[in-house]
Structures are given as C-alpha cells and as structure tokens.
Structure 1
Amino acid sequence: MSPSPIALVTGASAGIGAVYAERLARRGHDLILVARSAARLEALAARLRDQTGRRVEPLPADLRRREDLLRVEHRLREDRGIAMLVNNAGIALAGPVVGADPERLEAMVQLNILAAMRLGAAAAAGFKARGAGTLVNVASVLALAPERFNGGYAGSKAFVLAFTQSLAAELQGSGVRVQAVLPGATRTAIWEGAGVDLASLPPEMLMEPEEMVDAALAGLDAGELVTIPSLPDAADWERMDAARLALGPNLSRNRAAARYLGR
C-alpha cells in the first residue's frame, strides 16, 4: 500500500486550522499539525487518530521564533511525503495603527507575512521539484477592504494574496495547485486575541469555521485560485481581477501620464 499524502497545517490547534485538519484527515491525508501549544496539539491529534485512523504528528512550534520557523521550513523542504501545506497561522490586531503597540505590530508581521512567506516558498519549492502538491494560503477579505480594520493586519493579508497570485503564475504548468482563501469574519479565537468582542459583530457577518473551511475546500476542488467563501457570485471577483489586469499596460511607462504634465 502506498503511503497516504501528508498535509501540514499551521495554526492547527483550534479554529480554522483544527477544522482543516479534521476535514483533510477525513479526505485521506495523514497530518502534521503545527501550533504553539503542545498539549492542545496532542489532544487534537489523539482525537483525529481515534476518529479517522490517520497518522497525525503534532509539531509544536512558535512560528514567530526564528529557530522554530526554520525547523518547520526544513521539514517542508525535505519531507517528500508532504503533499499539501495549509498556511493558516496568523494573529490580528484591532484598532488604529497610529498609537498601536509597535511590538505587537511587529509580531503580527512576523507571523502573518514572514512565516507565511518562508513556509509557502519552502513548500512550493518541494512541490515543484516533485511535480505535484497543493499550497493553501489563508488570507482575509480585508486584503480587499483595508479601510475596514487595522491597517497592519489588512496589509499583512494583502501580502498573502499578492504572494499567492505571484506564486500561481510562477508555478503554472508545474503540477502544483495554489489557492488563496479570503474568509470574512469567522467565529474563532483570533478576535479575542485582537481585543474584539464577538458579540459586537453583526450575526449576519459571522461565519462558522466549519462552513468556511468546507467552502474553501469546495473552491479548491473547483480549481479556484482565489476563494471568497461568502461571495455569492464568483463573477464579481472575476470582474475585479480583470479590471486590475487591464491596468497592466499603463502601470509602467517611460513618461508620466499627460494629466500630470498639464496636457
């Protein structure tokens, strides 16, 4: 019997990451689960082993610490059994950037951008070399609506979206699948960490993590590069992306536009 493909999931101890772990185990993946809490990872791993019969390895790591990040990155580059990365770990910070604690902003950038980039690049390199693999980067709809939340958080998720789009172009024809998932408000502990009371959010805006992940996986199965789980009509995204691409020929020219030169 050939070994089962392994999915490595970051931020796996709760919320979106834990749901991805459960859904992927039921799809036939063995798992490597990454998060800070060894106890919570082991509890989840034991439950998933019992419920699904899959092999589940807890890999405790704080991806804001360089030595932990490099350890997970090395595993992604060297373990040929890994066929999927769900790059989900992240933190949020609510409120204005002006006056925010710079240490908290830096920690958010460290996890949401640097760790996501290094792990995504490591996974992509391994998958390309093997001619197969799936990279899922969890971003946020705030990548498209930065005025609606903390600019550091929205900016970090805009990075994840742009990084994913660029990787998809780079890996075209390589056999590697790439997806950016842009959830809206989802009922997870990230809000508490950001200092936001979930009860303050309109119920019609708040999605359960199980439904969000199921929609994201359906988008992956459908071959979507960008999945926005709550968007009713995919054509809305397609029109927006087409408008962005239409700017291309005029984004870099050897002269300033006539409107800036008094013409």
Structure 2
Amino acid sequence: MTRAENKGTAVVTGASAGMGEVYADRLARQGYDLILVARSEEGLARVAQQVLDATGRRAEVLAADLADPVQLRRVEAVLRARQDLTLLVNNAGVGSVAPLLGGDADAMERMIALNVTAPTRLSYALAPGMVERGGGAIVNVSSIVAVATEMMNGVYGATKSYVLAFTQSLLHEQGPKGLRVQAVLPGVTATGFWDVLGHPLERLPADIVMNVDDLVDAALAGLALGETVTIPGLHQGERWTAFEAARRELSGLFGNARPAARYLPG
C-alpha cells in the first residue's frame, strides 16, 4: 500500500481496543507512525499488525498500566526522549456507574490515577518538546459527563470535568506557542467500556448509542476544524458556542472586593 505523507509519530493510549484501536487505524491512514500504549501487550501487538497490514505504517508497542505510578513514569521517560512526536491522544480511561458513596474508594483512586494523573503527566512530558519543535497536538478524551456530571458516578464525572478544564487551560497557555489542543466529549459509544462496567449496551436505548468508528471519525474531523471542544453527539453546535460564551461572560463577574448584597447582614 502507498504510504501517506509522513506526519510524524502519534502516541495513542488505551490503544488495544475500542476508541484507541480506531484512532490507531485512522491516524496511520492519515500518515502518522504510532506508539501504542495499553496494559495488554497481546492486544497492542494485534492492533500494530493490523496497522502495518492496512497502511504500511510502523506501530511500536509500549505495554504499561498507566494507573501504576512506576509504569507511568517509565512511559513518560520513553516519550520525553523522542524527538518525532507530533500528536498525543490521551484516550485510556476507566468509568463507573456505582453510586457516588457506594463504590470502592480504592477503585475510585485508581480511576483518578488513570483518568486524571496519567493524561496530565503525559501532557507535561510531551508538550514542552512539541512547543520547542514548533508545534504539535494533544487530544484529551473527556466525556459528556464533564458537563452532565449527574449522569454517572460522581468521581467519574469529576475526572472528566478535570480533563475538559485541563484542556481549556492548556490551550490558553500553550496555544499561542503553536500547540493545538482538543477535548473530545463522547456520549454513549459502542465499545467494551460498558461490558467492563457490568452495564451492557443492550440495556440502553439504541438511538443514543454511537458507533465507535463514527465517533472517532467525528473527533478527528473536529480536530481538523480547529475545535477546542468536540462533542460528536451534539447536533446543535451553536448551543455549545452559546454555553461557552455565557460561561466566559459569567467568569468575568466574579472578582469583586465586597460580597454580593444577598450575603450582607440584614
């Protein structure tokens, strides 16, 4: 197969299945070589072979549990030493449908490690080099629960709200220096995510479940359009634009030396 234009190397976490696997395929077809990160070395090897067979692109495998601090730092060190990295897709994550105080606190801590700490540290590892080399892109997979925080487990929603806020702040700080940043907010997507949660997709209305290929294709289209926030399932894009405008306007009203009149005595 004829190789597409070389766009450098993309790092995809959670790349052994689901959204990560589709990202690997699409990015290879766009002209990226790949570094694939996930816990399952067998799954990564399968995806890497698929990429090679379909596109001729090289896909390196880096098996690691990003929720483990030692393994995460090993991945950071490997990536920080590379000079060819032009795209990072922070896709690895875990969720929960347990009630906020009904879950295992250790499981919630692991969720925070994977959903919050890992994308933060990997972004810290790659962003400075990208800026120094003249640009690159970081894609952070968040969720619609970043906004609709009541929909699922509260810790899960909080982690995805963090990812959205981190993305917006990263763009504010590093965007003028040439770094592109995108947060992707999927809704219900047809991946193994739901089986892991013990909540099969068959229990959900079919008209709210998006095909994973459609989801990733839409996310990459949003990246090409220069969107900071891409919500594939939101058809009324102007509603998000209005929401963001209202949020920014409201944030400018917070800084006052005196409390509001409603909080004053009498």
**TM-score under structure 2 length normalisation:** 0.95
Q: How many residues align?
A: 262
Correspondence list, 1:183-198, <5 A = 183-198=186-201
CA displacement, residues 228-258 of structure 1 (integer Å, 9 cap, x when unaligned)? 0011121100100111101122223221111
Partner Cα separation in structure 2 for residue 94 and residue 172 of structure 1 = 35
Residue 165 (structure 1) aligned with residue 168 (structure 2): yes
Matched residue type, 2:220: L
- 1:195 Cα offset (Å): 2.1
Partner Cα separation in structure 2 for residue 62 and residue 90 of structure 1 = 11
Residue 102 (structure 1) aligned with residue 105 (structure 2): yes
Residue 211 (structure 1) aligned with residue 211 (structure 2): no
Q: 1:220 corresponds to which residue?
A: 223
Matched residue type, 2:149: P
Give the match's secondary structure for 2:167: helix
| Cα 1:115/1:47, change in 2 over 3 Å | same
Residue 54 (structure 1) aligned with residue 57 (structure 2): yes
- 1:262 Cα offset (Å): 4.7
Partner Cα separation in structure 1 for residue 242 and residue 172 of structure 2 = 19
Correspondence list, 1:232-247, <5 A = 232-247=235-250
Residue 35 (structure 1) aligned with residue 30 (structure 2): no
Once superposed, what is the RMSD of the aligned Cα atoms? 1.3
CA displacement, residues 106-164 of structure 1 (integer Å, 9 cap, x when unaligned)? 11011000111111222212211212101000000000001111101010000000000
| Cα 1:17/1:57, change in 2 over 3 Å | same
Identity %: 49
Contact 1:93-1:195 at 8 Å conserved across structures:
no
Greater CA drift, 87-96 or 123-132 = 123-132
Residue 63 (structure 1) aligned with residue 66 (structure 2): yes
**TM-score under structure 1 length normalisation:** 0.96
Give the match's secondary structure for 1:187: coil
Structure 1 residue runs without a partner (length 5+): none
Q: 1:114 corresponds to which residue?
A: 117
Residue 253 (structure 1) aligned with residue 253 (structure 2): no
Matched residue type, 2:170: L
| Segments of 4+ moved more than 6 angstroms | none
- 1:3 Cα offset (Å): 6.1
- 1:71 Cα offset (Å): 1.5
Partner Cα separation in structure 2 for residue 37 and residue 204 of structure 1 = 32
Partner Cα separation in structure 1 for residue 54 and residue 6 of structure 2 = 19
Q: 1:24 corresponds to which residue?
A: 27
Matched residue type, 1:211: D
Partner Cα separation in structure 2 for residue 96 and residue 221 of structure 1 = 37
CA displacement, residues 76-104 of structure 1 (integer Å, 9 cap, x when unaligned)? 32211011000000000112111211111
Q: 1:132 corresponds to which residue?
A: 135
Matched residue type, 2:218: A
- 1:4 Cα offset (Å): 4.8
Matched residue type, 2:198: G
Give the match's secondary structure for 2:227: coil
Matched residue type, 1:214: D
Matched residue type, 1:154: G
Partner Cα separation in structure 2 for residue 222 and residue 138 of structure 1 = 17
